[in-house]
Amino acid sequence: MSETIRCFVNERGQTVPAGSTVREAVASFDAALADRVTQGEAYVTDARGIRVPSDHPLTGGAILRVVVSARATVDDPDA
């Protein structure tokens, strides 16, 4: 079994350790963007446009897109 897997974050190829999560793949691409995902200011979708949880384990060849939301999150008291 390989110790690394290849995935794509916002069309950029990333090599991450096998067993990495979606958030870890995003962090390998852009740490600030990963922080925005953690804070609920952005979310991640798969190649089909379906949201995936940031703690979801990756498989090789995963295609992820990070979407930064201009709207307040549902939990935002000012929404």
Amino acid identity of 35?
D
- The answer, yes or no, to whether residue 5 has pLDDT greater than 90, is yes
| CATH code, 4-68 | 3.10.20.30
- The answer, yes or no, to whether residue 16 has pLDDT greater than 90, is yes
Position 2 scores a pLDDT of 72
Candidates 25, 9, 15; CA nearest to 64 is 9
Position 26 scores a pLDDT of 97
- Neighbouring CB atoms inside 10 A of 77's CB total 5
> Can you give the residue ranges of every domain in the chain?
4-68
Mean pLDDT of 61-79: 74
* Pairwise CA distance, residues 4 & 14, whole Å: 10
Q: Is 9 exposed, middle or buried (0-12, 13-18, 19+ CB in 10 A)?
A: buried
Position 47 scores a pLDDT of 94
- The answer, yes or no, to whether residue 58 has pLDDT greater than 60, is yes
